Structure 1
């Protein structure tokens, strides 16, 4: 069944996801904040700022007019930076149709409220949980845009809606799996960005595979601890939205969070790293909200704590590693 979709956000993942939806046969409009990006997509079928080597399908067009893009859309895809979701959605909510499915591509925890992205969507848009679908997994945008084989998870409390979205984004290069554990999928996607910052720091400091494997496995352990405390299924963290996304984000040089962590590990300040990358590394802000969420539920997350100290308290990455290794020994 062909759907009419709008992707709100013209960054790398939003653009790649619009291509996926178009390749799956849907009619897709990308909303871009900047008119010149929308014009380039319409005239050349290319997003010049993100994925400039990728030609978008003919079924994909663009606009900088959110109202015209959202009205009548069956699928409303939210692909803005997580900390801007609340303010953006407040402007868009009255344009969204009563039967539309809202799809979250965002991987973060809101600062101040410690809410997951689906919770923010429900609160701001005034919709029930069963209308919100979360897409999460090892989905590095440049590889998806190049049509390299990959899989992802489509999570929703309504199995029928999850299946509808699954069908709307199945292509020969992307295989979506459905899941009803929205909490687990969202936490896996948010915390992996923080662990990838630590992984990047370790790589820049010259540490090898033992250190990196330790960060991945212990990072997964603290993600699962928080997830269980919030009601997630622990098995989710062994799947695509947990271990799969964590490995891809830590290991790939395409990962913004790993690359950002490398800059911090080489001694750059937070401001220097941000100026050099010019893209959002979600883990930098999310480490604060994830730390607060963990403390609220009395869950130990030592890697997250040390990443927050490096990013926001000026602690040297080497000192943060020493602090991790100096913790009291205990059973695994």
Structure 2
């Protein structure tokens, strides 16, 4: 049995896909939402049009210890600490915890696996990340993801237990690279969306993606990531997807910034907090991350898109 904590779009999609392998428990924070899903056998609030398979059981309330093979944590990066703290007793059952969020904790600059290590010391932890949209996974469209785990034996078991006929997992031992690739690409997706929303064109977006990838590599390597990981699914692959599709919440948020339009405050945009957290880290490490800094200033309202682009274009000329 697999447990999925978080009944947002991605958590629900994972539950739907993994039901192919056997029983799945899908936990929702809101009791009313859980009852609604259990009755309708759908999650129309977050993932409309997708039926929940019979193998999916929807629950809410206090999380109890279970004999689950793995627990997937599909909760936002900025609430992961409070979630794990509140439900520590139900999570500390020996089963691996698999984080599915893509971000850096704003208050501490810690990656999700580091947050878990602080709150639940000794827990086996892995990371599930890569280029994927909830709707594609839920509809059974082919998707490839990275499953990163420092413990090779645990990683192998999770890879076998979480792969399905259409969800293909590639194993990695580079947890740092997998987490930072997934987190930092959200920042570049905001920049790409802002450029397109402001009508700056595809060439500007291509430049932002390319130079943004160079920033991702520079920042992640400085924090201990392997360059090869960043060139894979959890880095470059995820960057391409989220910078080119309006299915990406971070890209849509950037579009709204570029168009000077309001954005739904109820939609989680992990890249906004990550931009600030990474700028703080960059200042401490002496890293030059101009696109990330521009996004941070855009999100905080200190720059307009035109000003941000002007700031980037006026940087000194250099070799690539």
Q: TM-score, normalised by structure 2?
A: 0.96
Structure 2 residue 7 is matched with structure 1 residue 19: no
Aligned counterpart in structure 2 of residue 189 of structure 1, from 182, 185, 190: 182
> C-alpha separation between the residues in 1 aligned to 2:99 and 2:308?
33
Q: Per the alignment, in what secondary structure is the counterpart of residue 200 of structure 2?
A: coil
Asked if the contact 1:73–1:96 (Cα under 8 Å) also holds between the matched residues in 2, the reply is: no
Does the alignment pair 1:141 with 2:134? Answer: yes
Match of 1:273 among 240, 263, 266: 263
Q: Pick from 163, 167, 170 the counterpart of residue 160 of structure 2.
A: 167
Deviation at 1:37, TM superposition (A): 2.0
Contact 1:72–1:97 (CA<8 Å) still a contact in 2?
no
Are the equivalent residues in 1 in contact too, given 2:66–2:93 (CA < 8 A)?
A: no
How far apart in 1 are the matches of 2:41 and 2:156? Answer: 29
Aligned to 2:74: 79
1:9 maps to: 6
In the alignment, the residues of structure 2 paired with residue 317 and residue 197 of structure 1 have an alpha-carbon distance, to the nearest angstrom, of 11
Return the offset for 1:324: 0.6
Unaligned residue ranges in structure 1 (runs of 5+): none
Give the SS at the match of 2:49: coil
Cα distance in structure 2, aligned partners of 1:121 and 1:187: 16
> How many Å separate the matches in 1 of 2:286 and 2:166?
41
Q: 2:28 aligned with 1:32, yes or no?
A: yes
Deviation per CA, 1:107-133, whole angstroms, max 9, x where unpaired?
0000121000000011111125xx101
Residue deviations 1:127-152 (CA, integer Å, cap 9, x gap): 25xx1010110011111111111100
Q: Tell me the distance in 1 between the aligned counterparts of 2:32 and 2:90.
A: 23
Question: What is aligned with 2:300?
Answer: 312
Assess if the C-alpha contact under 8 Å between 1:197 and 1:261 holds in 2.
yes
- Counterpart Cα distance in 2 of 1:49 and 1:120: 29
User: Residue 283 of structure 1 corresponds to which residue in structure 2?
Assistant: 271
Q: Is contact 1:20–1:169 with CA below 8 Å preserved after alignment?
A: no
How far does the alpha carbon of each residue in 1:158-187 deviate from its partner, in whole angstroms, 9 at most, with x for none?
111111111122122111100011000100
Contact 2:196–2:202 under 8 Å retained in 1:
no
- What residue is the counterpart of 1:54 in the other structure? 50
Match of 1:240? 233
Which contiguous aligned blocks of 4+ residues in structure 1 show a shift greater than 6 angstroms? none
Which structure shows the higher helix fraction? 1
Q: TM-score with structure 1 length normalisation?
A: 0.93
**Deviation sequence 1:57-83 (CA, Å, 0-9, x none):** 211111112324x43333111111111
The equivalent of 2:283 in structure 1 is 295
- Deviation track 1:206-241 (CA, whole Å, cap 9, x = no partner) reads 122221111111111101111111111101111100
Q: Deviations over 1:298-328 (max 9, x none)?
A: 2111100000001114311110011011111
The DSSP-based 3-state class of the residue aligned with 1:153 is strand
Preserved CA contact (<8 Å) 1:202 1:265 = yes
**Cα pair 1:71 1:97 within 8 Å, conserved:** no
Cα distance, 1:36 vs structure 2? 2.4
Cα distance in structure 2, aligned partners of 1:291 and 1:141: 29
Q: 2:102 aligns with which of 102, 107, 113?
A: 107
Aligned length: 320
Tell me, which stretches of 5 or more residues in structure 2 are unaligned? none
